[in-house]
């Protein structure tokens, strides 16, 4: 398996600590921060927290797998059929999400309020849901 930078055991823990610190700082400082700085702090805290937390959870599951299970997982990741399914699902997802992103952009131009933040969050969730639906659809067709 290819070694990645984020596999060092202390790095995800450090990232999670920084994420909690950024989020706490944004909450404590509250209105003393400018809106863009506050949004940046919350966004970075969420991103770092998600990356670090998911890496810690995956490291926990990695320790429970036997060497045979690890080989099977690695083989499945490189299997041509699975790669083709992921590629077709990603293409179909992007194709349909493109219209949603365009509509969200248009609404942000027209409305110009705080509403776009919530709308973008919903679109990201829909993008992930479309991806999973398309993976299922293409796995049945191939």
Q: Note whether 52 and 12 are within 8 A (CB).
A: yes
pLDDT tens column, 35-92: 778 878 888 888 888 888 888 888 888 788 888 888 888 888 788 888 888 888 888 8
CA–CA separation, 128 vs 142, rounded Å? 21
Percent of the chain with pLDDT over 70: 84
Q: Where are the domains of the chain?
A: 1-78, 79-142
**Closest CA relative to residue 130, chosen from 103, 94, 99:** 94
What does pTM read for this prediction? 0.50
Phi, psi (degrees; rounded to nearest 5) at 68 = -65, -40
């Amino acid at each position: 398996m290819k070694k990645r930078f984020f596999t060092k055991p202390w790095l995800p823990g450090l990232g999670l600590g920084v994420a909690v610190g950024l989020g706490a700082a944004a909450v404590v400082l509250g209105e003393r921060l400018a809106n863009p700085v506050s949004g940046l702090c919350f966004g970075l805290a969420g991103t770092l927290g998600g990356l670090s937390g998911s890496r810690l959870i995956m490291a926990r599951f990695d320790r429970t797998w036997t060497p045979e299970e690890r080989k099977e997982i690695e083989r499945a990741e490189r299997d041509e059929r699975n790669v083709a399914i992921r590629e077709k699902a990603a293409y179909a997802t992007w194709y349909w999400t493109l219209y949603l992103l365009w509509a969200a952009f248009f609404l942000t131009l027209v409305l110009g309020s705080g509403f776009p933040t919530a709308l973008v969050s919903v679109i990201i969730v829909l993008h992930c849901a479309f991806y999973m639906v398309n993976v299922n659809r293409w796995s049945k067709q191939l």
